[in-house]
Amino acid sequence: MGQGRKGQRSDGRLKVAEPAPAARAKRGHGRNKLVSAAEAVALIRDRDTIASSGFVGTGTPDELICALEKRFLETGTPRDLTLVFAAAPGDGKERGMNRLAHEGLVKRVIAGHWSLVPKLGKLAVENKIEAYNIPLGVVSHLFRDIAAHRAGNLTKVGLRTFVDPRQDGGKINARTVEEIVRVMEIDGEEYLFYKSFPINVALIRGTTADPSGNITMEHEALTLDNLAIATATRNSGGIVIAQVERVAASGVLSPRQVVVPGIMVDCVVIANPENHLQTYGTEYNPAFSGEFKVPLTMLGNLPLDERKVIARRCAFELPMGGVVNLGIGMPEGVASVANEERILSYLTLTAEPGVIGGVPQSGLNFGAAVNNEALIHQNQQFDFYDGGGLDMACLGMAEADANGHVNVSRFGPRLAGAGGFINITQNARRIAFAGTFTAGGLEVEVDNGILRIIKEGRSRKFVKRVEQITFNGSYAAEQGTDVLYVTERCVFRRTAEGMELIEVAPGMDIQDDILAHMEFEPIVKKPAMMDARIFRDHLMQLEESLLGLGLHERITYDPKTNVMFLNAEGMHILTRDDVDRVRRIIEERCQAIGRKVKMVVNYENVFIDQAVADTYAAMIRYMQQNYYTTASRYTSSEFMRQKLDESLTRRRVVPHIFETGDEARDYVAQRGNTERQAKKTWQPEKPKAKSRRR
């Protein structure tokens, strides 16, 4: 990619070169690699390609970036650098890669996200540097491809978006002419191929180093792509510079804690504390690094405004037992609503830099999380995302059009970049885009179940045609993805026919408050009213709604046949409390009836967590012994029939599991107790009298 060290090609194909003599002299095991920041960046040469870690301010090597900027301002070198990063390492103002936004210092930038490096973005939109925006996950995976000397990254991520070469090819301006992505057809299917290129310098960050250059990350909130970047650079014949907060003696670091081994590291720099904050929003929080968990009651609730209204409506889409990604901005409120409604334990929230579980943070802490269950490398997270691991994603929506296309990446002179948006939206099973209906000065009032528009926003967000396609609604419809567009006043769904208005907030007039502020005419059939609970300032009781545990409405009883029917379809039994709730409600109904019943249960699409499967089977055995004359169950899922059969048999309960409801009902009609037994009044079992010795 461009010009590299001596011996490397300029056509983008990798040819491994010998490292610079200064770097080569430093390589080797068991030798002290500790140098000053100035000494480390002195190894960087003109036209080098530099890859940097960092997600906002988490993991951003500011000590090294500051030293590089200082060298350039004082000496005018190095020049014409290519910068490569996945997520924008910056704060949207001065810090991070923003420091390197000097004409002459930078020639080219290849980035997954640009929003938080506006100074570099300004050089790009003013046509002063070559600039590319490709999906964050693709950049993350390219580091691994470069490390392994692969030709590039082959993926469907980016098809039919602005990254597709049939649109912009990820190029940001007219100065950028080299094609780094092309369409390939394999077995009749289209893919995008992103070329790899050598990396000359890696700027990475960790917590502790030893004299051999082994790097641990115990205080970091994220591990990011540090290992992949270091490996890619080492195997390109380049120099790896690591910024840490402390140095340990040789041989004391646990090998299981070492994230980047010393064989890949050339220089270690101890950072000044002000250049090694845990995040740009937090100097250090041990909950971010997993040293302890915090009580979720400490997290505050949102006020009832347009942001909470949107977050609440999106929360109705949360898949219980599923895995979810929440984007930055408006979607962050969904985590707050889920916590307030006490449903976080029923789902797994994730963030693209590698966070699994817990509560993702917002603002300059975005990317970090508290109470997370696991932390993996960023490229591994995108393996999971790209492979369809997300049950749902809730992301921001800057503008949308008649095709359901969404733009979050480019708005005239403002360059935001796609980040992980394209990876996530093209591969999640369900998507909820969240954003206000208009922008720029919108004021609303939520009053006792009614929404009122106090002041309309100046800018329309539902336009005829988006400026840039970050998400292709037509492509999603072809793939059968369920896509919603959630605003404070209405909800749209991308159907096969187009954008359909499906819900309207109470208090809103469809013509005056919705259609009059759109640049296209959506499909309008019979839109429903948005759930009234969204607009009232009290808990919505989402737990029962989402878990399908409104059991009172799910139980029916026919006194003529003495058959009780439980429609458990879609229920998720995840905890012992869920099992107890099912038992208690059925038991109360049986006690009210006053005799044992014949039970039929619909188990279609029911999910029972393996951790409580035996508890659930024990509950069924108890109910069958005390409240049922006979029982049958049915589901079309062979897997569920097998699991129920195993659990109930282990508890010495005859399963009687059928494939259809008719078979289950026929069984209880023909079998079970005799008519005389069915008419017996049920009485609780009396304790046996204790015998006395005489």
State how far the Cα of 537 lies from the Cα of 449, in Å rounded to an integer.
8
* Cα 543 to Cα 550: distance, rounded to the nearest angstrom: 9
Whether residue 233 contacts residue 187, with contact meaning beta carbons closer than 8 Å, is answered with: no
Please state, in angstroms and rounded to a whole number, the distance separating the CA atoms of residues 390 and 184.
26
* Residue 373 contacts residue 289 (beta carbons within 8 Å): no
Q: How many CB atoms lie within 10 A of CB 45?
A: 17
Task: Give the relative orientation of helices 332-340 and 306-315 as an angle to the nearest 10 degrees.
Answer: 70
CA 66, 67, 71, 74 torsion-angle sign: positive
C-alpha span between 163 and 245 (Å, rounded): 38
Q: Are the C-beta atoms of residues 124 and 415 closer than 8 Å to each other?
A: yes
Residue 462 CA to residue 575 CA, distance in Å, equals: 42
Residue 166 phi, psi (nearest 5): -75, -10
Which residues, at least 6 apart from 75, have a Cβ–Cβ distance to it below 8 Å?
none
Separation between Cα atoms, residue 559 and residue 366, nearest integer Å: 57
CB atoms within 10 A of CB 150: 14
Identify the three-state secondary structure at position 14: coil
Q: 86 with 51: CB under 8 angstroms?
A: no
102: three-class secondary structure by DSSP = coil
443 Cβ contact list (under 8 Å, min separation 6): 453, 454, 455
In the DSSP assignment, the letter for residue 226 is: H
Verify whether residue 352 is a known catalytic residue.
yes
Which helix (H) or strand (E) is 621 found in, with range? helix 613-626
* The token pair that represents 123 in the structure block: 């050089």
Name 687's Cβ contacts closer than 8 Å, sequence gap at least 6.
none
Cα 408 from Cα 113, distance rounded (Å): 11
Closest CA to 393 of 336, 344, 340, 328: 328
Nearby residues of 237 by Cβ (< 8 Å), 6 or more positions away: 5, 7, 8, 16, 17, 18, 19, 198, 200
State the first-to-last Cα distance of the chain, in angstroms, to the nearest integer. 101
Nearest 5°: the CA angle 507, 510, 516 is 120
Q: Supply the DSSP symbol for 291.
A: S
Query: Is residue 69 within 8 Å of residue 61, measured between CB atoms?
Result: no
Sequence length of the chain is 694
Torsion of CA 311, 317, 323, 325, to 10 degrees: -40
Q: Where are the beta strands (DSSP E) in 294-425?
A: 323-326, 348-351, 355-356, 359-360, 369-370, 374-375, 392-396, 399-401, 406-407, 410-411, 414-415
Catalytic residue among 341, 352, 399, 543: 352
Tell me the catalytic residues: 352
